Amino acid sequence: MKTQSKEILNRNFYNKNTLEVAKALLGMILVREINGKEIRARITETEAYMGEDDLASHASRGRTPRTELMFGEAGHAYIYLVYGMYHCLNIVTEKKNFPAAVLIRAASIEGMEYKKTNGPGKLCKVLKIDKSLNGIDVTGGEKLWIEKSGRVSSDKIRSSARIGVAYAKHSASNPWRFTVDE
C-alpha cells in the first residue's frame, strides 16, 4: 500500500546513464511490501553493470534467456541467484537494447539502523526478495519499489572497484561501486 505523499521513482529516473543512476540511488528508500506491510530501507551501496563490453556483467556474453531483462526496458527488477544460494537485486537502467543495471548491494532498514544489511545476499534475505519478483516493474508501486528521498551530495559519495569481479580482466578495476561516506 503506497501513501500519496511518497514519490515513487519513475521510469525516467532509471532510463539514464547507469553510473548516474547508481549514484542517484544512494540515499533513496527501497520499499518491499509483503501482505500489506512495508519494509523500508535506505540504500547505502550500489554497483553499476553497463554495456556488453563490461566483462563483469552477465550481459557480456550477449543476449541469453537470463540476460534478456538487462536488454529490456528500464525500471524493471533483475534478480538472479549467485553461488547457488544467494539472490541479488538489480534495477535495469538505460534505453532498450542497451544492457545495463544497478546492483543494490546494501541498505539500512528504517527503525533498525544498527542492523545494516551489508551485502546483496543478506539484503535480499531480509527483504524476502527472490526470483518470483524477477522482471517486475519497480515503478508500479507494488511489492517492490523505490521512493525519492534526500539525495546524497556528490562529495559524500565514494567510488571504488566492484566486489567479486577480479576475473573480469579490463573491467575489473572500473570504479563503478558507489558507497555513502558517513
Partner DNA sequence: CCACGGATCAGCT
Partner DNA sequence: GCTGATCCGTGGA
Question: Residues in the site for DNA, rule: CB under 7 A?
Answer: 47, 49, 56-59, 61, 64-67, 70, 78, 80-86, 88, 90, 101, 103, 119-123, 131, 162-165, 167
Closest separation between CB of residue 36 and DNA, Å? 27
Of 86 and 98, nearer to DNA (C-beta) is 86
Of 1 and 85, nearer to DNA (C-beta) is 85
DSSP string, 35-53: TTEEEEEEEEEEEEEESTT
Grid coordinates standing for 9? Answer: 521513482
The Cα–Cα gap between 178 and 121 comes to 17
Grid coordinates standing for 179? Answer: 558507497
Closest separation between CB of residue 3 and DNA, Å? 30
Closest separation between CB of residue 165 and DNA, Å? 5
Give me the residues paired with residue 107 across strands. Answer: 43, 117
Closest separation between CB of residue 118 and DNA, Å? 7
Of 6 and 86, nearer to DNA (C-beta) is 86
For 100, counting Cβ atoms within 10 Å of its Cβ (0-12 exposed, 13-18 middle, 19+ buried), the class is buried
The Cα–Cα gap between 88 and 67 comes to 14
Of 17 and 141, nearer to DNA (C-beta) is 17
